[in-house]
Amino acid sequence: MMNSKVIVFVVLLCLTGFGLLLRGYMPKFPQLQYISHFVTACDKCLTKDDPWLMQHLHKSVQPFLSANYSLPEDAFNWWKHLQLESRDYGTYRTTVNRLFQMFPKSPDLLESSPNHSRNCAVVGNSGNLRGSHYGPLIDSHDVVIRINKGHTKGYEADVGTKTTHRIMYPESAMDLDDSTHLVLFAFKIKDLEWLIKAFSTGFFGRSYAPIKSTIKANKDLVMVTNPAFMRYVHEIWLEKKGGYPSTGFMAVILALQICDEVHVFGYGADDDGNWSHYFEELENKKFKTGLHPGSHEYDIILQLAKQKTLSFYGGY
């Protein structure tokens, strides 16, 4: 009996030593800054009781429009001033009713399960993604959310190839493959009209920038952000700072609403305080962060990372 106990003890000791040896040779993801936190499904859940987070993260706010949702008129009145919408609430409601005659009546959301949490990568367009080698890590997520015209071709090593959700507005629209969700951030009624016409007759209106007349995308995967959600991000998260939130910051808060784990890449201004992009040269060196409170948005992301609510990958 004593010999068998000794043998078991020796075997366990050897296995422990072997495990420690393997741990020392485990590969590490490159360029993770000290504020980054790599979390797994069991390590962190967004339902954890955190007073500051609970003051800001209101799960009751519906992030997307649906056929059975009625936007409060006060939320419409806030939204209509973002880009000087002159038409009334009735026109908005008529347009939304037309919208849901063509597109899904409810958003297509990834469901959580007891055995697997919804892990999401939100990929911004910051120039700090150049040389980051985050591509494989980004592609390993269930959901990969990209913003506006963030390119992948030619930048695969740094930004990956996978896109499950593409956030856009008409002035930043691009064609999508058949498996990618088109997530429209609408800032005016014309944006909703563009969505309808871009999938049917073609859109021929004007805006402050050129707009695609038609778009290639799967109309069964279209999702439209709720103006009340945009207001919530501005008033609760940003405390009404700036003209209105950037699409990039709203994408982060959207991910906190619909995902169990959130990993953020490609955020942050350059050394001159400009939002430069990894896929193009910045033309306006005095743009800074435009109408948006960029530094405040960035500070909130850093705070969420420090609290381990999300994982932040700073790049170069």
DSSP structural state of residue 126: B
Which pLDDT belongs to residue 287?
60
The answer to whether the annotation marks 278 as part of a ligand binding site is: no
CB 271 within 8 A of CB 123: no
DSSP character at residue 172 = G
At 279 the pLDDT is 80
Tell me, what amino acid is at 251? A
In DSSP notation, 34-58 reads TT-----TTT--TTS--HHHHHH--
3 is in an annotated binding site: no
- pLDDT for the residue numbered 254: 96
Amino acid at 144: V
Tokens at residue 12, please? 């366990």
**pLDDT beneath 50, residues of the chain:** 1-2, 4-45, 47
The arrangement of secondary structure in 45-106+119-280+292-313, i.e. its CATH architecture, is: Alpha-Beta Complex (3.90)
Cα radius of gyration rounded to whole Å, the chain:
22
* Residue 25 labelled as part of a binding site: no
User: Is 248 labelled as part of a ligand binding site?
Assistant: yes
Beta pairing class for 181-184 and 165-168: parallel
Residue 83 known to bind ligand: yes
pLDDT of residue 15: 40
The phi and psi torsions of 171 (rounded to 5 degrees) equal: -70, -10
3-state secondary structure of 78: helix
> Is 303 among the annotated ligand-binding positions?
no
Does residue 300 sit in helix, strand or coil?
helix
Residues designated as active site: 244, 292
Q: Is 292 annotated as a binding residue?
A: yes
CA distance linking residue 97 with residue 87, whole number of Å: 16
Dihedral pair phi/psi, residue 140, rounded to 5°? -80, -10
CA-to-CA separations, 18 to 7, 15, 129, in angstroms, rounded:
17, 5, 36
pLDDT digits (tens, 9 = 90+) for 174-212: 999 999 999 999 999 999 999 999 999 999 988 888 999
pTM: 0.82
